[in-house]
Amino acid sequence: MTAPHPRLSINQATIKHADLATALQVTADAGVGAIGLWREPVQKVGLATAARMLTDSGLRFTTHCRGGFFTMPEGPDRRASIDDNRVAIEETAALAAAGAAGSTAVLVLVAGGLPAGSRDLTGARERVRDAIGELASDAAAAGVTLAIEPLHPMYASDRCVVSTLGQALDIAEDFDPTTVGVTVDAFHIWWDPDVLAHVERAGREGRLATYQVCDWKTPLAADVLLSRHYPGDGVIDLRALTHAVIATGYDRDIEVEIFNEDIWATEPEDAVARTADTFGRTVASYLAT
């Protein structure tokens, strides 16, 4: 077993059933240098405690997952979502400050799907832009980058109306790149005929806030949310995509984020070891070439 690649970050969702203490411990024990956290386990212990635990772990903090879900029309639900995103921005800033040197204050944004009963995809997409407009000044004040994540088009109706990297960049364009960037997650965008050009554009425009990997294979899981696999176990051309990301000058950590019932059923130590191993044999091997 070789040491994990120094740029590997474990996204906490990969070991979903581990609480925060376990996730930090297992990641650090494996010799991994960084972690991306999720809001629920952080809130379960409280932000101040979570920040102290993160500091004690010695790990870098890479992203906070996740804000967004603001496609609904004006009203109390939308106000509650905007307010909650402000909390997420504060959490992100606190955790980035608590992480080891090299941590990044990145809040991943998943836009949300069509409001119930609506077919107005264009309107929902406009409301994403509006919401980010409301949050940009808070993000700037906190030193946090909002990283718009395009999700695969199979989630367009119920989870995320932002479906391509090009579309995410078009929304981001209205804002300062240190405040609003994009999430490049291989699973969501690998199929796009224009993906390499979009990655190049994201780099050129200074918006590539985080690069996340896993793999795609078929048949898809019955619940398509849980159909992500270890890097190398599927068909994504991670070599071409990683080369394109690195060619932009991206020098941050790279997260592995996997939602998969079978992987969640394994011990978190085993999932982290397998993640480090598969990352080493795929993505890491393309970083130096």
Binding site for a copy of itself (CB under 8 A): 114, 118-122, 125, 152-154, 156-158, 163-164, 166-167, 170, 190-193, 216-220, 222-224, 234-237, 239-240
Smallest distance from a copy of itself to CB 267, Å: 28
Integer Cα distance of 107 and 147 in angstroms? 6
Of the candidates 225, 207, 254, 100, the one whose C-alpha atom is nearest the C-alpha of residue 160 is 225
Three-state SS at 147: strand
Nearer to a copy of itself, 89 or 110 (CB): 110
Three-state SS at 116: coil
Smallest distance from a copy of itself to CB 234, Å: 8
DSSP 8-state assignment for residue 161: S
Integer Cα distance of 234 and 205 in angstroms? 30
Smallest distance from a copy of itself to CB 164, Å: 7
Nearer to a copy of itself, 62 or 164 (CB): 164
Nearer to a copy of itself, 114 or 271 (CB): 114
Nearer to a copy of itself, 18 or 238 (CB): 238
Integer Cα distance of 227 and 260 in angstroms? 6
Smallest distance from a copy of itself to CB 196, Å: 9
Smallest distance from a copy of itself to CB 265, Å: 19
Nearer to a copy of itself, 53 or 172 (CB): 172
Nearer to a copy of itself, 76 or 219 (CB): 219
Whether the CB-CB separation of 73 and 101 falls below 8 Å is answered with no
Helix segments in the chain, DSSP class H? 20-29, 39-45, 47-57, 76-98, 121-142, 165-172, 186-189, 195-204, 238-247, 261-264, 268-281, 283-287
Smallest distance from a copy of itself to CB 219, Å: 7
